Amino acid sequence: MEGEQKRKVILSGMQPTGGLHIGHLTGALRNWVEFQSEFECYYTIVDLHAITVRQEPAKLRQWTLDLAATFIAAGINPEQAHIFVQSHVPEHTQLAWVLNCFTGMGECSRMTQFKDKSQKYPENVNVGLFAYPVLMAADILLYQADLIPVGADQKQHLELTRNLAERFNNLYSPTFKVPEPYIPKIGAKIMNLQNPTKKMSKTDEAQLGVLYLTDTPEQIKNKINRAVTDSGSEIKFSDTKPGISNLITLYHIATGKSIEQIEQEFAGRGYGEFKKAVGEALVEFLEPFRNRYKELRAEEGYLFDVLRKGAEQARVVAQKTLRKVYKKIGFVML
Ligand code: TRP
């Protein structure tokens, strides 16, 4: 409609490389759910990015569908937001190739994630891993996205995306919207239960330290019981007590109680009692998600419908941008 303001576009992606943990729910996904009423949202499962490190085919397939079910169980409404798999929209790879030709080798080799990952997997430092941020730029620029919610570790990739957009716009004519990062206010940072000075991560070796969204009540309680705690016996939030502080954070997330309230509630009570309470609170907190997830995951037909529709909608926008790009660089258009 004329005069009507177009809704701003949000785009974000997650890799299907393992089950999501509680930090994803209380961090990224909670924000994604909030955005959907106000913005035009594209949430993509980035399987093309996932293969920059070796993946087992059966697992990759499973994790991709798991992630689709996770998005919906977390509250993303496929009628409101576009949920799709990156490889279902071939324009991502097509634009990535074009952008590769506008990216300097130096720009990619400076990326900290590339340096970290090539150290972690020295036997497989492949060209895809090197060009990973260029594919990410394509994900974003195809949709003329305004805002990109990402963790702080992705900020550098976003800076490259902005540079590429500006470079192309200046060389030809305005083509891409230059996106802004949206780094959420640091909510509660959740640490590995076995190694509370390290962030909880789905690819972590210390599996006992990761609270997966699909863990059973028994697994949750067991992991909390076995969580590494600090010397002393006080339930107090402090830098010198990373283990107990992490459990306090989790209890805060599960119950909504403030840190002070929690410290008061457990004053004079021991770690054992506190852990029991944390485990039970988390079981209750995660229950609705888990039930919804189980239902959805059992309905693959429905998940495929959502992904098919999401990809169709995404393609309309992606094709439009790609055609513009092809035309400007001088490709013959049929
Ligand atoms: N690289 C991002 C990560 O690992 C995932 C991602 C891929 C992404 N494409 C994106 C995030 C586009 C935001 C926008 O977290």
Per-residue pLDDT of 239-296, as tens digits, reads: 999 999 999 999 999 999 999 999 999 999 999 999 999 999 999 999 999 999 999 9
- Told to judge if 202 belongs to the known catalytic residues of this protein, a careful annotator would answer yes
> Model-level pTM?
0.94
What homologous superfamily is domain 9-187+299-329 in, according to CATH?
A: HUPs (3.40.50.620)
Q: Is 200 left (phi over 0), alpha (psi -120 to 50) or beta?
A: beta
Atom of ligand 1 nearest to the CA of 151: 15
Average pLDDT in the 123-131 region? 97
Per-residue pLDDT of 285-325, as tens digits, reads: 999 999 999 999 999 999 999 999 999 999 999 999 999 99
Reported as a pLDDT band with limits 50, 70 and 90, residue 187 is low
Alpha carbon 121 to its chain centroid, in Å, reads 21
- Told to judge if 327 belongs to the known catalytic residues of this protein, a careful annotator would answer no
Residue 299: predicted pLDDT:
96
Q: Any idea where the domains of the chain sit in the sequence?
A: 9-187+299-329, 207-294
CB 75 within 8 A of CB 93: no
Ligand 1 pocket by Cβ (under 6 Å): 11-13, 15, 46, 49, 136, 139-140, 148, 150, 154
Two tokens, residue 194: 């076995």
DSSP 88: G
Two tokens, residue 44: 């993509």
Per-residue pLDDT of 63-97, as tens digits, reads: 999 999 999 999 999 999 999 999 999 999 999 99
Two tokens, residue 179: 């996106």
Q: Amino acid identity, residue 102?
A: F
Q: What is the largest CA-CA distance in the chain?
A: 77
Name the CATH topology of 207-294: Tyrosyl-Transfer RNA Synthetase (1.10.240)
pLDDT, the chain, mean: 95
Asked whether residue 212 carries a pLDDT value surpassing 90, the answer given is: yes
- Told to judge if 309 belongs to the known catalytic residues of this protein, a careful annotator would answer no
Query: E strand or H helix at 265, and its extent?
Result: helix 259-265
Reported as a pLDDT band with limits 50, 70 and 90, residue 205 is confident
CA distances from 192 to 195, 197, 202 (A): 5, 7, 10
Nearest to 103 by CA among 153, 144, 154, 163: 163
